[in-house]
Structure 1
Amino acid sequence: MKRIEAEEFIDNSKLLYETGLPVHAHLDDGSVVIFENGFYLVETTDSTFMNSNFRGAIRYSLDRQQKDTIFTLDYSKVAYVDVVEKRLDGLAFLLSLPGALITSAITAVAIFGSCPTVYSMDGNIEHLEAECFSYSINPRFEMQDVDKLEYPDFKDGILKLELRNEALETHYINTFKVLTVDHEPGHIILPKESGSMIEWKKELIEIGPLFNDYSVRDKLNNDISQLTAFEDEQYFSSSDKAVEEAVFDEETNDWIIMDLNLPEHQTELFLGFKLRSTLLNTVLLYDLLLDAQNLGAIDWTGTTSQGMWYAYNFAKWYHKNFGLHIEVLKNGEFVEVTQLGDSGPIVWSKLGVRIPLFEGGQTSVRFKFITDNWHIDWIGVSLSGNQEPVFKEHDISSVKGGDKGLNIISKASNDDDEYLITYPGHNYSFNFDVGNNDDKLDRSFFIQAKGYYIEWLRKDWLLADEGEALIEDVSLDNTLIRNLFEKWYCEKATMEDFFFETMIPVINKNETGD
């Protein structure tokens, strides 16, 4: 191992930042430097340097085959920084993203981020099925997620799925399974949400035959029934007027109302949804929670946001302001009875929920949300359902991609401290032996995944612009909401196209593991 001595800094150097957190610094030539014991950032007259806190740092070459010990690094060569979890998988890291892909990501100024993405294949056509645990931004928010498969690649009892890391994130996958439900034709099986604000999870719910005697209107009383009646991607979204009110008048709530003609003694409804979040949440994370803190984003990612008290307050604030709040009419006023959490911004999510009713006959249900946070394609209504449909759980039976030494199947099958760790560009093809179903019954397929991700921090997030002060912490209050809408108003028109253009290409691997 070659040793590279540190440069001697001149007297007027200035300490900009110091952290003891382990980090990776990804360089613009595709190499990577591991600061296992953190680093301190020093500004001199000519340059800014990252310096190792203790015993030097390890630099791996573009092909990850050579390594050197270094003590200082020119910060101008750094493209991304990611905070490393202590459970670093060394073998997975050495098989990580090649420098060529890092370079392409740098050229694109990549902003795409969407957790593990899951695909089904139909011949040469791939169908994006799910983005797993989209809001599990660190271990404290690790959650179990369930997503319905719309295009299952199922033949002779074998279901095939492809898991990819197409974002500038490190994914920590605790479990990755398939659930199957055999059910009566005409019934719909959907994921449902349950749990507390932090220990959120998804289970399953069965929606009975659909009921059609209702209409849907927006906040301005425009009839939008045709936008939400069918799964056709002709969807509802907040109007430009609603967005302007959020920016200029600070009226940040939007809603749609469902007016129903129900049997007089109806006491419950089973609702189904097809929806997805907009990129409003992405702007919140990227621009206001990370970029706004500059270098403080490293500590926010690695320590602050993982603290129990902070995580509780953050979850409470987020729960209050985001999600889909479902309210039922009671004595002329709407009363909240439950809430759906946000989904990812890429894949249409299917969700189901049971709600109680206070009034039968003619009544209304309101779906309330922060302005421009949702695209809603379909809302289905049933007078009956089953909150606990019987399902079967299936572990991975074989895998293509990766290496036998990673023990992929065991790491992704057990809910424990062993994680399947993926880096940008990783992809795995999984087979699940799910057996054949009864010809008289329909079968629905679901992905059940549990884990979290760590966002890679872009260099331009970390250093303040000239004259910009370092924010030590982000206050969770109405000011943050106002700043969010001001930013969203400026970026909305261009962000979506740019977001999807910067997905990270995957590495093609042909080895078969486990």
Structure 2
Amino acid sequence: MPLRPAAAALGGVMLLAACTTWVRRAEEPSSLLASSQMRELRVTRRGGGQFLLRFPFITGDSLGGTLVHSATESTRITIPLRDVQSLEVRQFSKGRTIALAAALGATVALVVSATRDEPPPPPPPPTSGPTSFSCPLVYSWDGVRWRLDSGTFGGAIMRALQRTDVDNLDYAVPRDGTLRLRVANELAETDHLDALAVLAVDHEAGVSVAPDPAGRLHTIGALAAPVRATDGRGTDALARVRDADGWNWESSLSGRDPARDADVRDGLELAFVRPPGARRAHLVLDGNNTPWSSYLLGSFVAAHGRATQAWYDSLNAEPALARATGMRLAREGFLAASVRTASGWRPQGMFWEAGPEVVKRQVLDLDLTQVEGDTVHLRLESAPAFWLVDRVALDFTADRDLAVHELRPVSARDRAGRDVAPLIAAADDRYYVLEPGDAAELRFRVPEPPAGTSRTLLLRSTGWYRIHTPAVGEPDVATLDAVARAPLGLSRASVVRLNAALARLTERTQ
């Protein structure tokens, strides 16, 4: 199974932390916060003790903000100003920025660069900051600790786009017949969870199970690695996509001209040895979206300005129009797959948005009947900087029989102890609504698998989310019209912003 690092919000926080140094400020807290807007302070108390305070503010004679305890726990606090000994703020470091951009990936660096000068939202803030948008996050209890295991129904950014998503639970381990999950909203959005269930799938030993973008389940046998892989600029990418090792392929960012079609698209071309007589194959992708794609989604919504609510209302009132709008964006931002035939490249489907938090395995069923020769040539294509690809492989075995057991939660309680199980028992438009910082723990009774079989656990969730963007100012009609109507409009808009962020990052490191 793929490695599943929490690579998005965490990666951005890591890069921001490592690209900066803490600098002590002599001003009084009230003067410091009045003169500049900032996302976090390092606070030292009189008498000892130091902590990080996100989205700080002054209220009366106290300093307030969000105190982060862990990846899933945070508290809004206030402390008397008289108890504050010193405050420190972050300052960009040239050397650290260059080193960490290389280590963590260029797209994370660009998000930091693109948002560095933007004002923070008013408190109370989400714990992951205003540039992260995705979907509810699901953690699995592995018997020792909580592990981030899934991001659900990515791309469903309004009620009209509600969808059902299926994802592998790689870290979920039942103990004494009980499986524990935690669903949490840690991002700048409001999540609407309509239904959630665990699928316990029994199958023969030696195979695994993974979903396709429509949620259908497929068995995966022996995986064939590519023998060649190059990106859109002809650079060798084989070592990056041959194994699920966390060493991802991502787009080369520099030197892209938004006026050239070749520069506003990117992806991979791969070659696989085709077994004699093979007419079908499973295309297996271990990958996820970049933080840049999440940032661009938020920028697109924010471009509606004070008309944001009217835009949502109009699309929710016409679901067909909403789906057409979503599909137009999907054709550019999702990862499209094609195989080469005698008559040219033939589309085989698209890998759905996976979110930037964890690596997700998805499967597409390939039709090879029109492929000639003993080599399968495959093309993956999207907008530049939208995808991180860890592994691409083919499985030439047929689907095996599966026994699927749908498990509903036997208990589901939020942090206040409220029973939310009835709200997520079925897709019936009775939603468990999660604001930033909300979470619930779910428990499932899991039967023992039959003797001689193996079991895979998957999550099936249904819902939608609304990302939080400032609904202020006049709509950016030029940008919205270009994205909606111009050929490759989303891709061109992304490259324009990529170039601006690259220029800003270069200025800071000179």
Q: C-alpha deviations, 1:455-505, integer Å up to 9, x for none? A: 2233xx5135xxxx764993202345422321233347999xxxxxxxxxx
The 3 A distance-change label for structure 1 pair 452 and 348 is same
Query: Among residues 292, 296, 299, which one is paired with 1:287 in the alignment?
Result: 299
User: Does the 8 Å CA contact 2:127/2:436 hold for their aligned counterparts?
Assistant: no
The 3 A distance-change label for structure 1 pair 230 and 306 is farther
Q: Partner residue of 2:485?
A: 477
User: Does the 8 Å CA contact 2:410/2:444 hold for their aligned counterparts?
Assistant: yes
What amino acid is aligned across from residue 363 of structure 1 in structure 2? V
The 3 A distance-change label for structure 1 pair 418 and 270 is same
1:451-470 equivalence runs, <5 A: 451-458=463-470, 461-463=471-473
Of all paired residues, the percent bearing the same amino acid is 20
- Equivalent position SS for 1:457: coil
1:86-485 equivalence runs, <5 A: 100=77, 103=123, 105=125, 110-122=130-142, 125-194=145-214, 202-212=215-225, 214-241=227-254, 244-247=255-258, 249-251=260-262, 252-290=264-302, 292-304=303-315, 306-331=317-342, 333-357=344-368, 358-359=370-371, 360-386=373-399, 389-402=402-415, 407-458=419-470, 461-463=471-473, 471=477, 474-475=480-481, 476-478=484-486, 479-485=489-495
* Alpha-carbon separation, structure 2, partners of 1:473 and 1:433: 50
* Alpha-carbon separation, structure 2, partners of 1:348 and 1:386: 23
User: Does the 8 Å CA contact 2:258/2:495 hold for their aligned counterparts?
Assistant: yes
Q: C-alpha deviations, 1:408-444, integer Å up to 9, x for none? A: 1121111212111121111111111111223532211
- Equivalent position SS for 1:474: helix
- Equivalent position SS for 1:391: strand
If the length of structure 2 is used for normalisation, what is the TM-score?
0.69
What amino acid is aligned across from residue 220 of structure 1 in structure 2? R
User: Does the 8 Å CA contact 1:161/1:430 hold for their aligned counterparts?
Assistant: yes
- Equivalent position SS for 2:402: coil
User: Does the 8 Å CA contact 2:293/2:385 hold for their aligned counterparts?
Assistant: no
User: Does the 8 Å CA contact 1:114/1:167 hold for their aligned counterparts?
Assistant: yes
What amino acid is aligned across from residue 462 of structure 1 in structure 2? V
Superposed structure 1 runs of 4+ greater than 4 Å apart:
97-102, 106-109, 492-495
Shift of 1:345: 1.2
* Alpha-carbon separation, structure 1, partners of 2:238 and 2:335: 18
User: Does the 8 Å CA contact 1:205/1:388 hold for their aligned counterparts?
Assistant: no
Q: Partner residue of 1:45?
A: none
User: Does the 8 Å CA contact 1:158/1:433 hold for their aligned counterparts?
Assistant: yes
* Alpha-carbon separation, structure 1, partners of 2:200 and 2:358: 20
* Alpha-carbon separation, structure 1, partners of 2:503 and 2:205: 42
What amino acid is aligned across from residue 420 of structure 2 in structure 1? I
* Alpha-carbon separation, structure 1, partners of 2:317 and 2:285: 32
* Alpha-carbon separation, structure 2, partners of 1:342 and 1:193: 9
Shift of 1:104: 5.3
User: Does the 8 Å CA contact 1:207/1:271 hold for their aligned counterparts?
Assistant: no
What amino acid is aligned across from residue 393 of structure 1 in structure 2? E
What amino acid is aligned across from residue 409 of structure 2 in structure 1? I
Shift of 1:123: 5.1
What amino acid is aligned across from residue 207 of structure 2 in structure 1? H
What amino acid is aligned across from residue 384 of structure 1 in structure 2? T
- Equivalent position SS for 1:303: helix
Shift of 1:98: 7.9
User: Does the 8 Å CA contact 1:214/1:260 hold for their aligned counterparts?
Assistant: yes
The 3 A distance-change label for structure 1 pair 381 and 494 is farther
Q: Partner residue of 2:31?
A: none
The answer as to 2:509 corresponding to 1:489 is: no
Moved more, 352-361 or 394-403: 394-403
User: Does the 8 Å CA contact 1:265/1:361 hold for their aligned counterparts?
Assistant: no
The 3 A distance-change label for structure 1 pair 424 and 108 is closer
User: Does the 8 Å CA contact 1:216/1:258 hold for their aligned counterparts?
Assistant: yes
User: Does the 8 Å CA contact 2:149/2:169 hold for their aligned counterparts?
Assistant: yes
- Equivalent position SS for 1:146: strand
Moved more, 362-371 or 278-287: 278-287
The 3 A distance-change label for structure 1 pair 356 and 288 is same
What amino acid is aligned across from residue 373 of structure 1 in structure 2? F
User: Does the 8 Å CA contact 2:161/2:319 hold for their aligned counterparts?
Assistant: no
| Matched residues, number | 383
Q: C-alpha deviations, 1:204-228, integer Å up to 9, x for none? A: 1111222347332223333322211
The 3 A distance-change label for structure 1 pair 387 and 130 is same
User: Does the 8 Å CA contact 1:296/1:470 hold for their aligned counterparts?
Assistant: no
User: Does the 8 Å CA contact 1:153/1:161 hold for their aligned counterparts?
Assistant: no
* Alpha-carbon separation, structure 2, partners of 1:165 and 1:347: 15
What amino acid is aligned across from residue 274 of structure 1 in structure 2? D
* Alpha-carbon separation, structure 1, partners of 2:413 and 2:419: 12
User: Does the 8 Å CA contact 1:187/1:206 hold for their aligned counterparts?
Assistant: yes
If the length of structure 1 is used for normalisation, what is the TM-score?
0.68
Aligned alpha-carbon RMSD (Å): 2.9
What amino acid is aligned across from residue 486 of structure 1 in structure 2? V
Q: C-alpha deviations, 1:76-119, integer Å up to 9, x for none? A: xxxxxxxxxxxxxxxxxxxxx98659735289963332221011
- Equivalent position SS for 1:484: helix
Shift of 1:130: 0.9
